[in-house]
Amino acid sequence: MGRWLAVLALCCALTIFGRSMAAAEVAPVRVGLTPVFLDDQTAFVNAWRVYLEARLKRPVVFVQRARYREIIDLLRAGKLDFAWVCGYPYVHHREVMDLLAVPVYQGKPVYRSYLIVPAADRTTRSIADLKAKIFAFSDRDSNSGYLSPVYDLAGLRETPGKFFARTFFTGSHRAVVQAVADGLAQGGAVDGYVWDIMAAQHPELTAETRIVAKSREFGFPPFVAAKTVAPDDVEAMRQTLIAMGGDAEGAKLLRQLHLDGFVAGEERMFDTIAAMMSATQER
């Protein structure tokens, strides 16, 4: 009897150990982010990670990089499962990602690019007035921070290199606002969603700039899934994002992002970006 009890105890221990090992081996969900949306919000990222883990029943790891290009490279290399990117790289690199969900901002899944100048500049009325000036872009792969103003210049039959005295990339929309506010650039292109949030949180900074023009509406920067992710996992993440507005904890996180929620989204939301890419030959 003693031998059988010992064997039974060993079997139970091995079973528990096996289950523990299996749980430990569950691959984490890897989500890519850039500072475009979440700049210096470590506490929020941690809270969002905990929220997603509880609903997906899997570990979640946020992978943060400085530029969209780095996020796309990680998706291509199979080192990310999901990412929050801009519509421009999404359209440009559809061969490595699928549309997952689109954020809803101020009641619609769209946003605009803002053309800004220093507040002291009261004469500039459009990008055409910035000829031979210094201009700040955010990211070479940003729609609102690069492609949209380049498209506007194409309408004038101009290119950034010939039209502006000098251009530079700041790496983020916040830095574009800072550069224009500080007078390092006489104009800049910025994500309207980011500028709006900054106006609410840091009005002393945006007050040093002036919005000259707002672009047409574009599909809001989407969440995407790497094409290598299993369909069930894709759907689980999509439904988790869409359901965020339906519970108190998710709604609180959305408020911190100044978003109303997420919708599944449609490919046609990004047709305008594709058309601008074609018109400017920016690929």
Q: What's the pLDDT tens digit per position in 175-218? A: 999 999 999 999 999 999 999 999 998 999 999 999 999 999 99
Compute the distance between CA of residue 247 and CA of residue 51 in angstroms, rounded to an integer.
11
pLDDT score of 14 more than 70: no
Instruction: Tell me the fold of 113-215.
Output: D-Maltodextrin-Binding Protein; domain 2 (3.40.190)
pLDDT category, 10, cuts 50, 70, 90? very low
Q: 33-75: per-residue pLDDT in tens?
A: 987 655 557 889 999 999 999 999 999 999 999 889 999 999 9
pLDDT of residue 176: 96
* Structure tokens, 9: 């105890």
Mean of pLDDT over the chain: 90
Query: What is the predicted pLDDT for the residue at 37?
Result: 59
Predicted confidence band of residue 234 (pLDDT cuts 50, 70, 90): very high
- When the candidates are 3.40.50.920, 3.40.190.10, 3.30.70.100, 3.40.50.740, the CATH number that belongs to 28-106+221-280 is 3.40.190.10
The rounded distance, in Å, linking the Cα atoms of 122 and 130 is 12
Q: Band the pLDDT of 6: cuts 50, 70, 90.
A: very low
pLDDT in the model for residue 38? 52
**269-278 residue pLDDT tens:** 999 999 999 9
Residues 112-141, mean pLDDT to the nearest whole number = 97
Instruction: Name the residue ranges covered by the structural domains of the chain.
Output: 28-106+221-280, 113-215
The rounded distance, in Å, linking the Cα atoms of 191 and 214 is: 10
Q: Rounded to an integer, what distance in angstroms lies between the CA atom of residue 197 and that of residue 80? A: 28
Tell me the two tokens of residue 239: 């439904």
Beta strand pairing call for 261-263 and 97-104: antiparallel
Q: Which of 1-10, 73-82, 235-244 has the lowest mean pLDDT?
A: 1-10
Structure token pair of residue 65: 């990089």
Please give the average per-residue pLDDT across 7-29, as a whole number.
53
- Please say if the pLDDT value at position 158 is more than 80: yes
pTM comes to: 0.87
